[in-house]
A and B are shown apart, each in its own frame.
Chain A
Amino acid sequence: MDPNQPANQLTNTMDGMDEVIKEFLVESNEGLDRFDRDLIALEKDKTSRELLDSIFRAVHTIKGTGGVLGYEKLVSISHVGESVLSKMRDGVLLLSPEIATVLLAMADSLRRILEQIALNGNEGDGDCSRVVQKLSELLKDVRPSADQPARDRVGDSPVQAKDRNSPPRLGEILVSAEHCGADDVRVAVQLQEEGDPRPVGEILVSKRVVAPLAIAEALKAQIEHHDITSNTIRVDVALLDKVMNLVGELVLARNQVLQFTGTQEDSGFLSTAQRLNLITTELQEGVMKTRMQPIGNVWSKLPRIVRDLSVGCGKRVEVQMEGTETELDKTIIEAIKDPLTHIIRNAVDHGIEMPDVRVARGKSPDGRLMLRAFHEGGQVNIEISDDGDGIATEKLKAKAVAKGIITAEHAARMSEREVLNLVFAPGLSTVEQVSNISGRGVGMDVVKTNIEKIGGTVDVQSTSGQGTLLKIKIPLTLAIIPALVVTSGGERFAIPQVSLVELVRCEGEQAGHSIEDVHGASVYRLRGNLLPLVYLNRELHISTAQGAAQSVNIVVLQAGDRQFGLVVDDINDTEEIVVKPLSKQLKGVSCFAGATIMGDGRVALILDVLGLAQMARVVSELREKSLAEHGAKSTDNLDARESWLLFRIGSGGRMAMPLSLVSRLEEFPVSQVERSTGQEVIQYREQIMPLIRLAQAFGHGAVADSELLQVIVYSSHGRSVGLIVNEILDIVDQQVAVQHIHDAGALRGTAVIQQHVTDLLDVPALLAEQHLSSEGVVA
């Protein structure tokens, strides 16, 4: 009779076995992941005893526990694998790429069987003889003197024979836990010595001395001995999600309580509310931390993928990682897994060249793939760089034109960065030969969409022939996010802070001037560029608040790599909100990302910035492009909204000049001023810079020099002139209505800025007047 049979029967009858199997599956899968990782590391560091031991242990554990649970295939595969590994430990066999490939294939076979067990409860009918045969072939090459691999004697393994910190033997554990007597173990060992091929655990089970459950526990205790420092427990993610939801509720309740503090005077209540506030915040952070996982968890699978790919296409790639301990929310880790894998595949497949090409280009034959992760400003940055071929921008452009993604005319106008971002355009693959690894037309666009779905951004930089760098920015967590709350049509809406660029408010009169109409689309002049405007009320078909708006509130938002202004009735505040999904009845409405409960208990919708932009069609690239160009022309216009530098000359004269003409503001000690041909000059940046006292030039009379001279440096054609003023007042961003005056000389006119009449300086005219025309500034 098959010795495994009794164990199998017990599996079906005993309660608690399911748990054991589940745990076995989890642990074995983790063990195999570690196996992959360590084996690849061992390829680089062939002498590391530690890595080899860890690899051995992973296989040994699967063999041991698998045997107890009666999984024959697992045992037969891992048994041969263990034999190969023990030869390596004995130094008879040295790890070669071929051996590594076979061992990795073994790990895959084991995984497949584990998957079958998880699905059907049995090992499935897959054939594992090929792997076993391949592994056995490795053994043939070794001198036949090497004997059969060590069988488990009383929980013995070759590890322990040499290792002084060896874990207790299986029999010892069983005896000490009073699962069986020392005599039973002795009998079992004796049977083994008499030629019984089964491990001690199995013998004990078949003699019905010990329950399989106890053996499994003992084996686990044996394994855990290796890892005494582990202070962790396993928690079901669903439970964590539930706790997270409850904390979300608590945050809302806290917000509600805090709203009452405004109207209450009871000091006892106030201090209790304060404590509740603090504790909730800490609890929230704590729970968030439990969901945090190091990014290394995802990355750890990548070296294996890279190895398989590079071996497959004959390339040599070395993976380096930095910041593996950087932590991210579990849901985000899940979400970036596929995009990351795709990027890595792309880099190996398209980026890194064949070794001979690399050598010919003066690079090391080993391609370098670098993964970096770090926290920055509440976001996680992930950078993936390779030193491969880079992106051929001309080729990319031609391809995009050929595929009709952009027009030839448009292509000619595109900046380098825009061209590079074409890699994210749907339906574009630059590799002529579509390989089976990547480049099937669905690629980077999916990567981009997936990353944007979780509120992240992705950017690409590349130098042809030098390599490519992909920068991904993603939020730390999705469950609780900071958001800006706005009101429109009497309803509140939350806008995720990650999409927020800035807030602009135009008061009264000014509002009418600064918002203009370009072919039916509203635009706003923001620092000389035209910002397309989207009216939230119009987009959502909600009525505008009654009464003529006194001011216009513009929320400047980033949608993908484009910006647009969202016009709302009112801007309230920023708040931490708990994101709740919308029911499936509302999935069709693309401009909402979810809903949240506000401090007053009412529900507010969360705007999906990208969805909204798409709905309002502001993300159509061509249109924005033409608007930007249009905008560039109109900035020459004097009454365009501009930034002005305000300053005082003499005792009372207010003057302004466009900030765009100011190259620097400097302070010089009076003592540094020198004279040259009747002109005050100063040595500035290895040039001799003429100085003009504006107070004198405009007849405001000299004011006693202070120790330091305030100088506005104006540069033109590589020459600089310093304008001495008495005080720099302010920088204002405003559209000015110029009143032209007769015989203004070096003035462009006057205007009202900040409720004061202000002269507008015409710098070129001033220089001409002072015989210092910008071309002819004398040195």
Chain B
Amino acid sequence: MNIERQLCTFFLQGLFFGVEVERVQEVIRYQEMTRVPLAPAVIAGLINLRGQIVTAIDLRQQLGLSARTSEELPMNVVIRRDDGPISLLVDEIGDVVEVDEHLFEHPPDTLDGQRREFIRGVYKLKEQLLLLLDSEKAMSVVGNRPA
């Protein structure tokens, strides 16, 4: 019997990512953001989520992808956490996908260092490869300051 897993999927610079659906609190469209000066570069800013202040993390920055242009407004994938939710900024939201565990494979060795850290593995779907994001890692911030 195959163990199935539901992933909430999204796109980042053409790459197809997924996080476990039970970790996702909600998905919302672009929210106005307040920048936090001097904060690490991966922190895009703060958003007001129905009265709650949520830190937004720019996944493109975190994964070392190229920055979004100013016209491209990111979407928020809000991840549930014990100490308050955190939003991950993505380009576009995909469907909720059910995946078979036997399609899972550990990240290929060719994946470069920085990205590899954040990816737990790959699901070999028919159409496309689905990268399983390590959301805990993705929300971690090393105390570096912007360059």
User: Chain A residues in contact with chain B, CB under 8 A?
Assistant: 248-249, 252-253, 491, 540-542, 580, 582-586, 588-589, 591-592, 595-597, 601-605
- B32's partner among A541, A591, A602 (CB-CB below 8 A) is A602
Q: Is the CB of A591 within 8 A of B53?
A: no
Q: Is the CB of B34 within 8 A of A604?
A: yes
Q: Is the CB of B55 within 8 A of A597?
A: no
With an 8 A cutoff between CB atoms, is B37 at the interface?
A: yes
Give the docked Cα–Cα distance between A580 and B34 (Å): 14
Contacts of B48 on A, CB cut-off 8 Å? Answer: 597, 601-603
Q: Is the CB of A605 within 8 A of B36?
A: yes
- A584's partner among B32, B47, B53, B83 (CB-CB below 8 A) is B83
Q: Is the CB of A583 within 8 A of B83?
A: yes
Nearest residue, chain B, Cβ from A604 = B34
Q: Is the CB of A586 within 8 A of B37?
A: no
- A252's partner among B36, B51, B141 (CB-CB below 8 A) is B51
Binary interface encoding of chain B residues 29-67 relative to chain A, with 1 for a CB under 8 A from any of its CBs, else 0: 000111111111001011110011111010000000000
Give the docked Cα–Cα distance between A742 and B84 (Å): 75
Q: Is the CB of B38 within 8 A of A591?
A: yes
- B38's partner among A252, A253, A540, A601 (CB-CB below 8 A) is A540
Expressed in whole angstroms, the minimum distance between the Cβ of B135 and any Cβ of chain A is 14
Expressed in whole angstroms, the minimum distance between the Cβ of A528 and any Cβ of chain B is 34
Given contacts A491-B35, A585-B40, A589-B36, 5 further A-B contacts (CB under 8 A): A583-B83, A583-B86, A588-B40, A589-B39, A596-B53
Contacts of A585 on B, CB cut-off 8 Å? Answer: 39-40, 43, 55, 57, 86, 139-141
Contacts of A252 on B, CB cut-off 8 Å? Answer: 51
Q: Is the CB of A586 within 8 A of B34?
A: no
Q: Is the CB of B143 within 8 A of A249?
A: no
Most A-side CB within 10 Å, residue of B39, B43, B53, B57: B53
Q: Is the CB of B32 within 8 A of A592?
A: no
Contacts of B46 on A, CB cut-off 8 Å? Answer: 582, 595, 603, 605
- A588's partner among B52, B140, B143 (CB-CB below 8 A) is B143
**Cβ-closest 6 pairs across A and B:** A540-B37, A603-B34, A585-B141, A583-B55, A249-B51, A603-B46
Nearest residue, chain A, Cβ from B46 = A603
14 contacts between A and B (CB under 8 A): A248-B51, A491-B34, A491-B35, A542-B37, A583-B54, A585-B40, A585-B141, A586-B39, A589-B36, A589-B38, A597-B51, A602-B48, A603-B53, A605-B46
Give the docked Cα–Cα distance between A248 and B46 (Å): 18
Nearest residue, chain B, Cβ from A252 = B51
Nearest residue, chain A, Cβ from B33 = A603
CB under 8 Å from chain A, chain B span 89-134:
none
Give the docked Cα–Cα distance between A407 and B12 (Å): 58
Contacts of A604 on B, CB cut-off 8 Å? Answer: 34
Give the docked Cα–Cα distance between A604 and B47 (Å): 10
Q: A583-B55, A595-B53 are in contact. Are A605 and B34 (CB under 8 A)?
A: yes
Give the docked Cα–Cα distance between A596 and B140 (Å): 23
Contacts of A540 on B, CB cut-off 8 Å? Answer: 37-38
Contacts of A597 on B, CB cut-off 8 Å? Answer: 48, 51, 53
- B37's partner among A541, A595, A603 (CB-CB below 8 A) is A541
Q: Is the CB of B84 within 8 A of A586?
A: no
Give the docked Cα–Cα distance between A167 and B45 (Å): 63
Give the docked Cα–Cα distance between A518 and B72 (Å): 46
Give the docked Cα–Cα distance between A586 and B51 (Å): 19
Give the docked Cα–Cα distance between A252 and B53 (Å): 13
Give the docked Cα–Cα distance between A491 and B39 (Å): 15
Expressed in whole angstroms, the minimum distance between the Cβ of B7 and any Cβ of chain A is 24
- B55's partner among A253, A586, A596 (CB-CB below 8 A) is A586
Q: Is the CB of A541 within 8 A of B38?
A: yes
Contacts of B52 on A, CB cut-off 8 Å? Answer: 580
Give the docked Cα–Cα distance between A596 and B38 (Å): 18
Nearest residue, chain A, Cβ from B85 = A583
Contacts of A591 on B, CB cut-off 8 Å? Answer: 38
Q: Is the CB of A586 within 8 A of B36?
A: yes
Nearest residue, chain A, Cβ from B38 = A589
- B47's partner among A248, A580, A603, A605 (CB-CB below 8 A) is A603
Nearest residue, chain B, Cβ from A596 = B53
Expressed in whole angstroms, the minimum distance between the Cβ of A566 and any Cβ of chain B is 14
Contacts of B47 on A, CB cut-off 8 Å? Answer: 603
Expressed in whole angstroms, the minimum distance between the Cβ of B30 and any Cβ of chain A is 14
Contacts of B139 on A, CB cut-off 8 Å? Answer: 585
Expressed in whole angstroms, the minimum distance between the Cβ of B76 and any Cβ of chain A is 14
Contacts of B54 on A, CB cut-off 8 Å? Answer: 583
Give the docked Cα–Cα distance between A588 and B143 (Å): 7
Nearest residue, chain A, Cβ from B47 = A603
Expressed in whole angstroms, the minimum distance between the Cβ of B46 and any Cβ of chain A is 4
Expressed in whole angstroms, the minimum distance between the Cβ of A616 and any Cβ of chain B is 12
Contacts of B43 on A, CB cut-off 8 Å? Answer: 585-586
Expressed in whole angstroms, the minimum distance between the Cβ of A592 and any Cβ of chain B is 7
Give the docked Cα–Cα distance between A6 and B23 (Å): 47
Give the docked Cα–Cα distance between A248 and B51 (Å): 9
Contacts of B39 on A, CB cut-off 8 Å? Answer: 585-586, 589
Give the docked Cα–Cα distance between A668 and B139 (Å): 75
Give the docked Cα–Cα distance between A38 and B141 (Å): 53
Contacts of B34 on A, CB cut-off 8 Å? Answer: 491, 595, 602-605
Contacts of B84 on A, CB cut-off 8 Å? Answer: 583
Most A-side CB within 10 Å, residue of B35, B40, B47, B140: B35
Expressed in whole angstroms, the minimum distance between the Cβ of B120 and any Cβ of chain A is 21
Give the docked Cα–Cα distance between A596 and B52 (Å): 9
Give the docked Cα–Cα distance between A299 and B36 (Å): 41
Nearest residue, chain A, Cβ from B141 = A585
Most B-side CB within 10 Å, residue of A541, A542, A583, A588: A583
Expressed in whole angstroms, the minimum distance between the Cβ of A614 and any Cβ of chain B is 13
Contacts of A586 on B, CB cut-off 8 Å? Answer: 36, 39, 43, 55
Contacts of A248 on B, CB cut-off 8 Å? Answer: 51
Most B-side CB within 10 Å, residue of A253, A542, A605: A605
Contacts of B45 on A, CB cut-off 8 Å? Answer: 603
Give the docked Cα–Cα distance between A540 and B35 (Å): 11
Give the docked Cα–Cα distance between A315 and B28 (Å): 67
Give the docked Cα–Cα distance between A252 and B35 (Å): 20
Nearest residue, chain B, Cβ from A536 = B37
Expressed in whole angstroms, the minimum distance between the Cβ of A247 and any Cβ of chain B is 11
Most B-side CB within 10 Å, residue of A252, A588, A592, A604: A588
Expressed in whole angstroms, the minimum distance between the Cβ of B81 and any Cβ of chain A is 9
Contacts of B140 on A, CB cut-off 8 Å? Answer: 585
Give the docked Cα–Cα distance between A603 and B143 (Å): 22
Expressed in whole angstroms, the minimum distance between the Cβ of A636 and any Cβ of chain B is 41
Most A-side CB within 10 Å, residue of B36, B47, B139: B36
Expressed in whole angstroms, the minimum distance between the Cβ of B139 and any Cβ of chain A is 7
Give the docked Cα–Cα distance between A583 and B40 (Å): 13
Expressed in whole angstroms, the minimum distance between the Cβ of B49 and any Cβ of chain A is 10
Give the docked Cα–Cα distance between A596 and B43 (Å): 17
Give the docked Cα–Cα distance between A249 and B55 (Å): 18
Give the docked Cα–Cα distance between A619 and B146 (Å): 25
Contacts of B38 on A, CB cut-off 8 Å? Answer: 540-541, 589, 591
CB under 8 Å from chain A, chain B span 3-26:
none
Give the docked Cα–Cα distance between A487 and B32 (Å): 17
Give the docked Cα–Cα distance between A242 and B54 (Å): 18
Q: Is the CB of B53 within 8 A of A592?
A: no
Nearest residue, chain A, Cβ from B35 = A491
Contacts of B143 on A, CB cut-off 8 Å? Answer: 588
Most B-side CB within 10 Å, residue of A249, A540, A602, A603: A603
Nearest residue, chain A, Cβ from B43 = A585
Contacts of B35 on A, CB cut-off 8 Å? Answer: 491, 542
Give the docked Cα–Cα distance between A588 and B36 (Å): 12
Contacts of B40 on A, CB cut-off 8 Å? Answer: 585, 588
- A582's partner among B32, B33, B51, B55 (CB-CB below 8 A) is B55
Give the docked Cα–Cα distance between A588 and B140 (Å): 13
Give the docked Cα–Cα distance between A583 and B85 (Å): 9
